[in-house]
Amino acid sequence: MYDAKAKVLKALAHPTRLWMTEQLANGERCVCEFVDAVDADFSTISKHLAVLKQVGIVEDDKRGKQVFYKLKVPCILNFMSCVEGVIESQVNAQAALLKK
């Protein structure tokens, strides 16, 4: 069970994948839109999306020449405010250390 959960978290634990996941919260996007936005190879983006798909975070939908991805589990994002909280408290702790 912990293995399965860790896999899902691992899928999210990459800056590009995390960013794409948050983008998908605003609605579906085609692969090409990501490629334009991120400065990376088509294949790199495609592989990242495949990772998200494999664990069930997103799903794809081929329409014409393009493939559209959409977020399957919006609750994923509820978590982010907590993660942001972790980061903020870390930043504050570091700042406090520097002041000493």
Partner DNA sequence: TTATCATTTGGTTATTGTGCCAAATACTCA
Partner DNA sequence: TGAGTATTTGGCACAATAACCAAATGATAA
Interacting residues toward DNA by CB under 7 A: 10, 13-14, 16, 30-32, 35, 40-51, 60, 62, 64-67
* Residues 49, 60 contacting (CB under 8 angstroms): yes
* Residues 58, 72 contacting (CB under 8 angstroms): yes
Question: Closest separation between CB of residue 57 and DNA, Å?
Answer: 14
Residue 66: contacted member of a copy of itself, DNA, none (CB under 5 to 8 Å, by partner type): DNA
**Which of 39, 62, 64, 86 touches a copy of itself by CB under 8 A?**
86
66 binds a copy of itself (CB under 8 A): no
Helices (H) and strands (E) in the chain, counts: 5, 3
- Using the minimum distance from each CB to a copy of itself, give the nearer residue, 22 or 36: 22
| Residue 53: closest CA among 15, 20, 83 | 20
